[in-house]
Structure formats: C-alpha cells, structure tokens
Amino acid sequence: MAEAIRRRWGHFRRQPVFTGFCLFMAVLALNIIIQTPAKFFTVSNFRILLSKNMPLILTCLGQSVLMMCGVLDLSTGIQLAFVNVIAIMLPQELGVPVGLGWACALTGGVLISLFCGFCIVKLRLPALLTTFSITYIIKGVNVLIMGEPQGKVEKIIYKTYDSVLFGFLPFAALILLAVLLIWQYIKRTRYGRHMYAVGNNPRNAYAVGINPERVQMKAFLIKGFIVGLAGLCLTASNASGNPLQAEEYGIRSLSACMLGGMNFGGWGTLSCGLFGAGFLVIVQNAVYYLFNFLTKAIQGLMINSYWQNLVSDTIIFLGLLATIITAKAQRETLKQGFVKQLKRGEKYGG
Amino acid sequence: MGSGLRIRRFVKYNRPGMALVIALFLLLITVLINPKSLNINTFGSILVQTMLLSFAAAGQTMVVISGGVDLSVGSVMSMAAVITTGIMQGQGGRFAQVILATVAMGAAIGLLNGVCAVRVGLPPIVITLAVSYVVTRLQYVFTGGMPTGVAAALFKKTVQYRIFGLIPAATMYAVVIWALAFFLIHRSRFGKQLYLTGNNESAARLNGINTRKIRVLTFVLSGVFSAVAGVLGAGYMGMSQCQLFDNYAYNSLVAVIVGGSLFVGGVGSYFGSITGSLVMIVLSNGLTVLDISQPVRNLVLGLVMVILLTLYNRAKPIRQ
C-alpha cells in the first residue's frame, strides 16, 4: 500500500503540472487563512471568484493550447476587448438580435485569432513581436468600432451568468467544465498527439508526415474559440463595453502558463494553464482581502485603487520571476523556446 | 555596374539611406495633399521630435544590436518627465538634481530589466513589458494620478527656442547625446563587444568577452538614455502627465528596425536609428496633418511593424 502511494507520488512529481499544483495549493491555503475558512467556503464566494475571473482563466487555457504547439500570442488580451466590442455594438447599433450578435462576436474572436495564426504560422514571423504589433492593430479597430466605453447588456444575461445552479454550481463553472470536457476529447484524438509532436520539433513532425502548419493553425482556431468565450464572459460579467480593456491579459496569461509549468513545445497540459491561472486569481484575491484587513487594522491608512493596481502588476512581474523556481528542470528548453519566438529570420544584409 | 543593380544594392544594403528616401517621400506626399503644412514651424517641430525620439532610440539600438528588445523605454521616459516637473516646480537652478535623480532611476530600472532578462533568462520583451506596467503604476501611486509642477522657464527655452525660427535649441543637447551614443556604439571597446555578442554569443564568450555583462549593460544604458530623453521631453512639453511618453517604447523600436537593425542581433547602426526616428516622426506628422484619428494611427503603426517583420524577419520554411 505504502509502496503504491510512493510510486504514485513519484509519478505525480514528474508530471508537468506538479509545480503549478503546489504553488496553487500554497496560495490557496494562505488565502483561506487570510479570509478565514468560514467566509471562504461559501457558495457566493466561489461564485464571485469564478464569474469575475473566468475571462482570465479561459485566456490562460487558450494560451496553453498555443504553447503546447510551440507558439504564443501576446495580443490575446486585446482580443477579449474585440469580442466584447462586437457583442455590445452589433445589437446596439444595427439592431441585430442579441443571440446572433453574440454568435458573430464569437466568430470575430476566432477570425482575429486566425489572422494572428496566419502571420505567425504562414508568414513565419517571430511570434512575440508580431503579436505585440497586432495588439496595436486590434486596439485601433476596437476604437474605430466603439469610440468610448458604453453600452449595456440585458439583465437576463448577466443574471444568468452570475447565477448558481442547483444551489452549488456557479454558472461560470459550467463554462469552464464544458471547455475542459471538449479539451479532454481533443486530447484523445489523433490531432492531440500531433500537437505535442509539432510543439516538440516541427521539422521532425514534418518528417513523419504531419503538416506542422495545419496543426498550429488548428491550435489558433481552438484558442480563438476559447478566447471568444472568454470575451463573452467578460461582456456578461462587466455588463458593458470598453474597447481598451483587458490588454494586460495577454502577458498575464503567459505568466500564468509559465508558472503552471507550461513549456514551449511538447511539454505541459491544459491543467498547467488552469493551475497557473488559479494561482494568479487566488493571489489577487488574497491581496484584496489583505488590503481590506490592513485598512481596518491601521487607523488612517488610505489605500486607493492605484495601490491595488500596482500590487497586481507587481505580482505579474514576480510571477514571471518565480519561473526560475518552477521551471528549473525544463529551463533550458524554455529558454530555447523563447529564442525561437523572438528571432526567426536569418541574418540579412550587412 | 548598371544603374538597376546599383539601385537594388542600395535598397538591400543601405537601410539608413533607404530610410531617408522614405522620409523624404512621406514628406512629399504630406505636402502634396496639404500644401499648407509646408512651413518653417513644421520643420522645426519635426526636428525637435526626431531628436527626442532618437535619444530614446539610442539605448534601444544598443539593446537590439545585442539581440534583445526594451519595451520599458516609454514608461521610463514618462517617469523621468514626472520626476523632472516634480523637482523643478517651475524654478530654475535645479537641473543637476533632476539629472541625478532621473539617471539614477533609469539606471535602476535598466539594471532590473537587464538582470531579469539576462541572469534569469526570461525573454526581454516579456520582462520589459511587465516592468513597464509596474513603472507606470508607480507613477500613479507617487503622484496620485495628477503630477504637479512645470518645467523651469530657462530649461524650457533651451529645448523649445528656435534659432532663426528653424533650428531648435535642443540641437545642443543632441550634439552631446549623439556624440556619446556614436562613441559608445561605433568607436568604443564596449561597442565592438556589443556587436560580437549580438552576432554570435557563444563565439563571443569563447573569445573572452563577458557577454552577460555586456547585455546587462545595454539595458542599463537604455534606461539612462530614455531617462535623459524623458527630462528633455518634459522640457519640450513644459508639463508632465502619467503615461505621457508611453508610445515612445513602440515608436523607438520601430525606428530602430526601420533604420536597419535586425532583431536577430549583431546588425545595425545609430545613424540608421536617427534616420528611422525621422521616418517615424514624418509619418506621425503626416497623419496629424491629414487629420487622421488616433485609432487609425495605432492601426498604421501596427501594420508598419508587421510589414517590416515580413520583409526582414521571416523564418526559413520547414520543408527544406
């Protein structure tokens, strides 16, 4: 019995998700202590946590799908705003039925993701810089469609999104479960295995008869769908439109995936992205309660939203730094993967 | 040598010259569409802005030659501007303090970038982006969102005054900074080692160059140059805001690439970056003259970069 447990444990330790899981559990414990268990383990707390952070969690899942194939997308964040803008503006300006408008928004998310995929996969441009520039393009398009933050969502939509089914299952969790189920299916198909092969080494994958370009484009398609869902979640949870929001989700999701133990190409699973996202979410939550606690405990201490923003951005930065610890074993591969993202061209000219 | 071949060689190998041609071409288009824009004042402001951007691009050039990217240029500039007006408060005689404070700030942020990017081994683009977010938030925390103070009148004059109505007084800063950057990149031992590091890091290391030190140093210098650019930018604007110069991060990067540096490292020149800055400023001037809105500008800037990458930075196809 003990032998079996030890073997299981040893097996689990070698899983990509191990570091992410440990980090997540550590901050979860910390958060429960700060927030007190009685207040943490309530349905409404879970509902708020999930419905507010579902866009970020889904973005991280999308990013980890890409990273599995050895590519990445920094413009994921602003793509959420793009979906949000379409979902608000189509019904408001053109009188399109809400359902159809939202379907169009989802399609728009997929299309814009495919555009990124085209630039990176077909044109073979360096992923990091290209998607960083594409951020500017999408930002421009967003503001062209919607000049300033405006619009509203019908009450039934955000009520449904915030609702709790059967007294314990938040609606947002249902979306997450659906995405994870779809992924469980994709992972088991032939395509799922091709993703790892291409991520590991596109040249070798090509040699054994896999079309790397098609596999990577399909990854962008899946990511586009997930990001489209994330954008709709963002619309439902904010109940309004803002063309310039969520831009930092791109780098945040990258940071989360790396924290979760994700690596470029052939290493890591979707749960890496999930635990990485969970880590960021829980840390943010814990910081919020810590600040609340501090303002109550210390008289005359005023903390404005600027401080909160500073702390949350510092956490992204520290999260990136923490990859030294988490990705220790795979650090060299991670580094090389990034070099691949950064420089693709050969030397040219003189 | 036939003229056709000569032109092709010029386009392919003389990127700074090509940048000058593009800048002239863009200026010509702007003037043709809107003849009113052709006046001495426009030229003056194009010159000043080109200088500002080229100061910021000096550090960026070094970083790109060494094979990295620095996206914190813009936020360091904004931070420097906020510090400048905060210390000056419209009074003269505090220039030394301003320079000391901002250069220390720039060097510290550059060191942070460099250590994280080189020692920790994370990609510079991601780390500098994260750092620039933090620096931007710091501006808001320090100033409460509303920076106070204005630049000193005399200092403002040294940047804004136009000799004969055309040549900006900022030229005297430019002479010093350009000379310094030229010396660092093209004439010093550091510059030689920089090119070697960017060209082939392992070969450079085997030749006894401390490549890590060189790469950290490029980030520190980038921070210092952008801090100085921020101080002068505050003099040009007269006041400061949070995130005032944030777009300089991306603009300086595009300017450096337009000027002929390559992301793969080891290729590039500071003269190229200055001409690249001219292209960027003429382009943005043209967009202003043609009354093109901010979102379309963003679109154009993004497209320019994607096109540049497509032209110069494509990977080899997999099936070879």
CA B166 and chain centroid, separation: 23
Q: In the prediction, which pLDDT does A334 show?
A: 65
CB within 8 Å of chain B, chain A residues 216-255: 248, 251, 254-255
CA B102 and chain centroid, separation: 17
**Is A252 in contact with B134 (CB distance < 8 Å)?**
no
Tokens standing for residue B320: 């070879």
**Is A140's CB within 8 Å of B295's CB?**
yes
**Is B161 in contact with B169 (CB distance < 8 Å)?**
yes
Q: Which residue has the tokens 């790469």?
A: B215
pLDDT at B317 over 80: no
Q: In the prediction, which pLDDT does B41 show?
A: 81
**Is A83 in contact with A232 (CB distance < 8 Å)?**
yes
Burial class (CB in 10 A: 0-12, 13-18, 19+), A100: exposed
Nearest CA in chain B to A350: B13
Tokens standing for residue B316: 């080899």
**Beta bridge pairs of residue B168:** B162
Nearest CA in chain A to B16: A350
> Mean pLDDT of all residues in chain B?
86
Q: Say if A342 is an interface residue toward chain B (CB within 8 Å).
A: yes
Q: What residues contact B12, with CB distance under 8 A and at least 6 apart?
A: A349
Q: Centre a 10 Å sphere on the Cβ of residue B206 and count the other Cβ atoms it contains.
A: 10
The ipTM value here is 0.79
Q: In the prediction, which pLDDT does A292 show?
A: 79
Residue type at position B105: M
Q: What residues contact A111, with CB distance under 8 A and at least 6 apart?
A: A224
Pairing of strands A169-170, B162-163: unpaired
First to last CA, chain B: 34
**Is A82 in contact with A112 (CB distance < 8 Å)?**
yes
CB within 8 Å of chain A, chain B residues 249-268: 250, 260, 262-267
Tokens standing for residue B54: 């080229």
The percent of chain B in helix, strand and coil, each rounded to the nearest 5, is: 75, 0, 25
Nearest CA in chain A to B305: A133
Q: Which residue has the tokens 């190998």?
A: B13
Using left for φ > 0, alpha for ψ between -120 and 50, and beta otherwise, residue B286 falls in alpha
Q: What residues contact B91, with CB distance under 8 A and at least 6 apart?
A: B152
**Is A267 in contact with A333 (CB distance < 8 Å)?**
yes
Per-residue pLDDT of chain A (350 residues; tens, 9 = 90+): 778 888 888 777 777 777 778 888 888 888 888 877 777 787 888 888 888 889 999 999 999 999 888 888 889 999 999 999 999 888 888 878 888 888 999 999 999 999 999 998 888 888 888 888 899 999 999 988 888 888 888 888 888 888 777 777 888 888 999 999 999 999 899 998 898 888 888 888 888 999 989 999 999 999 999 999 999 999 988 888 888 888 888 888 888 888 887 776 667 788 888 998 998 888 888 888 888 788 777 766 666 778 878 887 888 788 778 776 655 555 566 666 666 666 554 443 33
Q: Which residue has the tokens 């070698």?
A: A14
Burial class (CB in 10 A: 0-12, 13-18, 19+), B59: buried
Interface test with B, best of A73, A129, A303 (most B CBs within 10 A): A129
The torsion angles phi and psi of A169, rounded to 5 degrees, stand at: -105, 105
Rounded Cα distance, A255 and A72, in Å: 12
Rounded Cα distance, A161 and A230, in Å: 12
Question: B73 to each of A153, B64, B76, B269, how far by Cα in Å?
Answer: 39, 13, 5, 19
Residue numbers in A near B12 (CB within 8 A): 349
Tokens standing for residue B210: 């401390």
